[in-house]
Amino acid sequence: MTRTSLTIFLAVSMAATVGCTSKNYVKQQTTPLINKTNELDDMTAKNSKDIKDVDARAQAGIQAVNAKTADVEQKAQAAGQSAASAQQMADAANGRVGVLTNTVANLDNYRPVAETSVKFGFNRDNLTPKAKEALDQLAATISSTKGYIIALEGSTDSVGPAEYNYDLSQRRANAVIQYLASKYNVPAHKIYVIGLGKDKPVETNKTSAGRADNRRVDVRLMTNTVGDTTPATPAPSGQSNPSSM
């Protein structure tokens, strides 16, 4: 081997040695960095997952609180509506008491001439033929009664809400008014009427017969004319108790 060839061989060998040494050095230096980077990536992924879990729990908590808040608000609103309804019913009851008081005060100057009771079917406000017959018998004395008025009290049994029964008793009394006005020309200012609902039963509401007796309108022909002391004559109702609608 010539000197030149030897020199080239040595140079190549040294270069290869230096190259391998450099690669090993670089690998030794970069491996910890790569491992650290991987650890950071794993920690970042775990933190992201933890954050999502916390956010999901927070959202669930917020939704639960919102649902409870809405439920409380609904209950508060319902309570307010119930209170307002109760106040309206109390006001209406006071109004009815006032009307009844005024009616009674006005009736103090009157005495009864004739009276009858007409009965109604369950939840009905229409006059039956027997009810009309009873009204006809009472109305027969109107033309001979001076200074008269007619007092009506509508009533119901105890079935159903109080407000509905007040309205039903008023409708029953109105049916009597319409019949007397249309057939006997009784003017409106001659009639005193009040719907008592279930407040003034004449019989117990614990039996069907008692409830049937309470589904009625009491009708009284009264006068303020002095001199005639003839006691009131009940007009026969001629009715059996309607037992059904």
* Domain residue extents for the chain: 1-79, 102-234
Partner residues linked to 233 by β-bridges = 114
Within 10 Å of residue 156's Cβ, how many Cβ atoms?
31
Q: Where are the beta strands (DSSP E) in 39-120?
A: 111-119
Sheet with 233-234: strands ordered across: 191-195, 148-154, 216-223, 111-119, 233-234
Any idea which residue has 């001076």 for tokens? 146
Within 10 Å of residue 121's Cβ, how many Cβ atoms?
15
Confidence of residue 180 (pLDDT cuts 50, 70, 90): very high
pLDDT digits over 22-67, tens only? 656 656 666 766 666 667 667 777 777 777 777 777 677 777 767 7
Residue 105: what pLDDT?
53
Q: Is 26 left (phi over 0), alpha (psi -120 to 50) or beta?
A: alpha
Higher pLDDT, 69 or 14: 69
Report if pTM > 0.75: no
Maximum Cα–Cα distance across the chain: 171
pLDDT surpassing 80 at residue 94: no
Q: Which CATH number fits domain 102-234: 2.40.30.10, 3.40.50.300, 3.30.1330.60, 3.40.50.2020?
A: 3.30.1330.60
| CA end-to-end span of the chain | 135
Mean confidence (pLDDT) of the chain:
75
Higher pLDDT, 177 or 3: 177
